[in-house]
Structure 1
């Protein structure tokens, strides 16, 4: 039976696609380029005095961008402002849950292999409630502008579980397929299965990062894929659909490999900009306040662009009064500014915030 966008795709084939070479020469070339960019990123990350900079900042940027793909729009500034409190408007809270889901996923694969249960845990964190596979029929995916139905995922909880089990087996298959190609193919399949009532897109993009960590291509979730996807969002959805309608796997794989290469290169440039900013502020802070000679204090200033007095006091093992004095001295020197958020006084490292949020 030919595929129809309005009919549940219960015949979604298992992976790998039969009779197709997933690694022709163009894919092999793109894979080498993406792997080289990832290796360069890993080396650049090791040059940062404090690797927590990336571990804290990049997941928030990824949260903002991945949520925006699903039309959950907030700003990186709002996310950093409310990163520790979990506050903000509805969209900000939604995006912050993406970061929680990413960290939950990373913690999970440190203990056991990636499975459908991992996906359910990630989706539950994203949605703020327990998420099980879809049991109610009638799910249809429509063009947000025209409202025309473009895809109907498989239906029936048992069938969805079967397809997820096959997806798991493909993820962990012992063959020669490159992990980057496996990630691209598995991402399509997960989105095509569309196992949950909501949150599938964001769950699938978290899984991309987990697969790269599990394969040893990343050590921490410091790759920022979603900004590149946003820049080519129409291609993302067009190529996903082309796999379903035309079996156009190679175009899809090449797209995802290019997203990885582009994202790794961009993040490497961002690391260089962070290092330059960090060195400049450290030099000026040493003159402005005795705290500027405290390595831990400087590290705290560059873990997140919004800093709290209690954070400095705890991390630097100084009194609250000393922490306040250090931070206010940097405000006087115009290295930081202070802003009231609710009842709390936050100190903003604007130069660092600018480096994090501008395109590289």
Structure 2
């Protein structure tokens, strides 16, 4: 939840100001849930926390880190000749190598990736969840980061990040197609078999929120509570929704929508 809030904080700020170290600090504060500033002491390392094996020690001292962040900013905004994807990949390495904050650098850095793509005009909304690719390939990610530092192996790092953008974009497009297909199926099922009015906003609501309460339908569709309950219970009987108790309330779950993000890209709804 904090990651999402920090992401949208950054998206909102992009409308008024460029990406900067100050923005990175606010994003990192958001993902950590408390105010976060540049590290004062060399109290961090990158390695195995269990064995305390150090693989990389980032720069230390507020003055040095601040200087590095200024260089990071300058790189982002001064590379018009390079493809924005390459700029993003290089700037991500720089940010993680600087490791400017005591905690939350990885999450903040992944959010900054998306903000750079939005700022470059490659995305209109933050729909590309590149973090999934990085987390799923975490060992390779850290190995290639370290190889840039040790051996200046930029090519392998850039290819890794470009592959991540491509595979994540393909996954996202497939997911959008699946959601649109499911919406069409829902619309057909409701029109042909359900007591729900065809002109209601319920279908839109079911895809805006993967689960909802009766009160949500009352508010959105401007109907009485008995009518809202009748609609929802009818959809449960037809297995379009599932219901669970949550305290004193019942939640109605669009279970097929919730399944889509976790399904392999090769599996289509028709399967």
TM-score range, shorter chain: over 0.9
| 1:167-186 equivalence runs, <5 A | 167-186=72-91
| 1:51-90 equivalence runs, <5 A | none
- Indicate whether 1:332 and 2:237 are aligned: yes
Tell me how far apart the structure 1 counterparts of residues 197 and 119 of structure 2 sit (CA, whole Å). 39
Tell me how far apart the structure 2 counterparts of residues 230 and 138 of structure 1 sit (CA, whole Å). 24
- Judged with a 3 Å threshold, the aligned counterparts in structure 2 of structure 1 residues 164 and 338 are, in CA distance, closer, same or farther, namely same
Contact 2:36 2:101 in 1 (8 A): yes
Higher relative contact order (CA 8 A, sep 6+): 1
Q: Tell me the residue number matched to 2:269.
A: none
Aligned counterpart for 1:115 among listed residues 15, 20, 23: 20
- Indicate whether 1:162 and 2:67 are aligned: yes
Give 1:319 deviation, angstroms. 3.2
Q: Tell me the residue number matched to 1:255.
A: 160
| 1:291-302 equivalence runs, <5 A | 291-302=196-207
| Partner SS for 1:293 | coil
Tell me how far apart the structure 2 counterparts of residues 294 and 158 of structure 1 sit (CA, whole Å). 61
- Indicate whether 1:272 and 2:177 are aligned: yes
| Partner SS for 2:208 | coil
- List gaps (5 residues or longer) in structure 2: 266-271
Give 1:310 deviation, angstroms. 2.5
Give 1:349 deviation, angstroms. 0.9
Contact 2:195 2:234 in 1 (8 A): no
Contact 2:194 2:234 in 1 (8 A): yes
- List gaps (5 residues or longer) in structure 1: 1-95
Give 1:190 deviation, angstroms. 0.4
Q: Tell me the residue number matched to 1:286.
A: 191
| 1:128-139 equivalence runs, <5 A | 128-139=33-44
Tell me how far apart the structure 2 counterparts of residues 200 and 344 of structure 1 sit (CA, whole Å). 39
Contact 1:180 1:212 in 2 (8 A): yes
Q: Tell me the residue number matched to 2:45.
A: 140
Give 1:144 deviation, angstroms. 4.4
Cα deviation digits, residues 139-177 of structure 1 (max 9, x gap): 112224543111111111121111111111111115301
- Indicate whether 1:212 and 2:117 are aligned: yes
Contact 2:79 2:87 in 1 (8 A): no
Give 1:205 deviation, angstroms. 0.3
Tell me how far apart the structure 1 counterparts of residues 145 and 131 of structure 2 sit (CA, whole Å). 15
Aligned counterpart for 1:345 among listed residues 246, 250, 259: 250
Give 1:280 deviation, angstroms. 1.2
* Number of aligned positions between the proteins: 265
Give 1:238 deviation, angstroms. 0.4
| Partner SS for 2:15 | helix
Give 1:355 deviation, angstroms. 1.2
Aligned counterpart for 1:244 among listed residues 149, 169, 186: 149
Tell me how far apart the structure 1 counterparts of residues 153 and 87 of structure 2 sit (CA, whole Å). 15
Give 1:294 deviation, angstroms. 3.0
TM-score normalized with structure 1 length: 0.70
Tell me how far apart the structure 1 counterparts of residues 91 and 37 of structure 2 sit (CA, whole Å). 20
TM-score normalized with structure 2 length: 0.92
